[in-house]
Amino acid sequence: MKKIFYLVLFFPLIAFAETEGPLLNYQVVIGNDLRAIEVSACFTGSIPSFLYANDASGSFVKNVRLDTGEVLVLNVDVVAIPLNNAARCVFYDVLLEPRDQGEQRGGAETRLIEERNMLTSIGDWLIRPKSNANHETFGIDFRVPDDIFVSTPWRRLGKTRFVGANTPVAWEGVVALTNRTPNIIEVDGSVFEVSILGEFDRVNREDLIHWVTRSAQGVSELIGFFPRSQVQVIVSPSDRGNSVVPWAYVTRGGGAGIHLFVKRDSNLEQLLWDWSLPHEMSHFLFPHIDSSDYWIIEGLPTYLQHLAMVKSGVISSAESWSRLFRGFALGVKAGRGFTVAESMARLSKRGTYLHVYWGGAAYFFRIDVELRSRSQGEVTLLDVLMKYHGCCYDEIRSISGDQLLSDLDSLLSDDLFVRRKEKEIIAAKFPNYAATFEALGIQFLGNNPVFDSDVQTGLSAQIMNPAGFHH
């Protein structure tokens, strides 16, 4: 009898603990013009001493006050909460001033797309405490005009309700208010919520969904699963530039997000042939790196986008080798005698990003081949990444590039990653990719790969392998 008594008592307690919810809850009321927003942030317990936003919020956020009536000041990006108050809620108003001219070229920004789609940078309007034990997550509930849907990087609980991970304020994120239903797709257990803003000339909704799905499958097949379980995808039309995807970037604030600007007149074939989306998705194979090591941040996706595109069947392995070869050659040329590390220090001034991106890609390519050839194909760079996801990948914290490399080395019980950085990124002008092609038995006639039958290691076929993940 005693046992039964405990069970009856125990289960309701657990259920209660699970439904208790976050200690901070937002109500966000969006005006019909999508510009005016009223926010209330209510805390269970006292309000933390400081609340933060980004430094653009000062021009959008007005009328900050406590539920006790006390008026507060947003000082650039911080609101100080007076000591010893009995307040539980902060109220404020927002008037967004979206850009609608020119083309987006940076990270998240507040921008109007075709009248009824508002992109917002979360830090522009969401004031919040730094993450700590009490505030690792928050609840957020929107009230929107009848025709409007909300896209966020947060975990969806309902049409307008979410639970947000309180990632560092500096991590950008996008909340989009759109007049079309988001599209939900699932790839190997990961959920992609795709919002399409505006109209395209030659592709419809199904085409864009197909493009996202194929790209995600390719990346997923690299390590057997997609590196994030939930991804917000936003596709906006662009009328400028010559490339199919003139601009794209990833965000990690609140969760994984990818925002792509797609040339309005592109067709499906061009989209599948383009590297941008597999590249952006490959960024999530690594966690957030806070040390400006762009050769690592960009080098890994720049290499792996090629393997992913072969896996998803959108390019052939010969095309993929050719793209790598041409990319490395462009990277060397852009170096103008500097090392990759030196170019990185001058990145903003000299525009030598090709040297940095492709130098990093060549480093990861050479490490992949080294790992495969010393193990007769048993161990690959992808295995190391998969292991890293099992033990160490943190979605809500940053890591430095050096820490990441030494973590990868520990997984290998080696110093390969750190040693090669010293040699190829800091000391040499560019990683010696030509020697690696030679070791693989690949020569190039023009830009076309020719496979040497005498040096048939089988490794080249293993690297650019259209078959999916098998382990």
Positions touching Zn ion (CB under 5 A) are 298
CB of 132 to Zn ion, least distance (A): 31
**Kind of pairing between the strands at 442-445 and 448-451:** antiparallel
At its nearest, how many Å lie between Zn ion and the CB of residue 289? 12
Pairwise CA distance, residues 117 & 253, whole Å: 21
State which residue, 212 or 304, has the beta carbon closest to Zn ion. 304
For residue 290, give both structure tokens: 């806070």
Q: At closest approach, how far in Å is the CB of 466 from Zn ion?
A: 24
| Residue 41, strand partner residues | 26, 90
Beta strand 61-66 with 89-95 is antiparallel
Quote the least distance from Cβ 286 to Zn ion, whole Å: 11
Nearer to Zn ion, 129 or 301 (CB): 301
Residues with Cβ within 8 Å of residue 266, at least 6 apart in sequence: 200, 202, 203, 244
Which residue lies nearer to Zn ion by CB, 154 or 364? 364
Which residue, among 254, 230, 88, 227, has the nearest Cα to 163 in the 3D structure?
254
- Give me the least distance between CB of 381 and Zn ion, in Å please: 17
Measuring CA to CA, how many Å separate 334 from each of 150, 242, 329, 344, 355? Answer: 42, 21, 9, 12, 5
Provide the minimum distance between the beta carbon of 32 and Zn ion in the complex, in angstroms, as a whole number.
37
Nearer to Zn ion, 77 or 274 (CB): 274
Return the number of the residue (159 or 326) whose C-beta is nearest Zn ion: 326
Least distance from Zn ion to the Cβ atom of residue 398, Å = 17
Query: Closest approach of Cβ 305 to Zn ion, in Å?
Result: 9
Q: How far is the CB of 301 from Zn ion (least distance, A)?
A: 5
Residue 156 or 283 with smaller CB distance to Zn ion:
283
Minimum Å distance from CB 207 to Zn ion? 24
**Considering beta carbons, is residue 293 or 298 the nearer one to Zn ion?**
298
Placement of tokens 């991970």 in the chain: 165
Residue 235 or 356: the one with the smaller Cβ distance to Zn ion is: 356
In the bound state with Zn ion, the residue whose beta carbon lies nearer, of 77 and 298, is 298
Nearer Cβ to Zn ion (166/302): 302
